[in-house]
Amino acid sequence: MKVWKDLCTGDALASNEFKYNIPEEYKGACLEIQCRVLLGREGGLASESVQELKQKGHKIDVVERFQLRETTLEKVDWGTYVKKYVKKVKKTLEQDGLNERIPVFKEGATALAHFLMKNYASL
């Protein structure tokens, strides 16, 4: 089984046991994971918001499997976090002797960050 880990922390984030895609427009800076909702104490998926699903006891399979945590950052704080994180990844790539990957990663991560910031309210 292939497991993707956070380059800086080593935390497992996903594995190939889930259907995934590596979006070309982000040049390998992220994975798109196809998740499933695990039904909780109240059946049915009539609700569309994640908050309503949580209240009914529903969970997302990849979140449960890898014990991921939801972020509660505001848009501005998230933008600050991402800038620091990209710098941290760059430093880790340099330390690991992967300097050739830095420009590609930065390009993909920047495109992804712009997309997420633009759509932050709907995420």
| Short-list 33, 41, 37, 39, CA closest to 16 | 33
Residue 50 pLDDT = 65
Average confidence (pLDDT) over 54-60: 77
Residue 41 pLDDT = 64
pLDDT digits (tens, 9 = 90+) for 31-40: 999 988 887 7
pLDDT digits (tens, 9 = 90+) for 4-32: 999 999 999 999 999 999 999 999 999 99
* Rounded CA separation 112/117 (Å): 9
User: pLDDT at residue 48 above 60?
Assistant: no
User: pLDDT at residue 56 above 80?
Assistant: no
Long-range Cβ contacts of 54-61 (<8 Å, 24+ apart): 60/35, 60/36, 61/18, 61/35, 61/36, 61/37
Higher-pLDDT residue of 42, 10: 10
Residue 120 burial (CB < 10 Å; 0-12/13-18/19+)?
middle
Of the listed ranges 28-37, 45-54, 58-67, 84-93, the least confidently predicted one is 45-54
Place of tokens 């992967």: 98
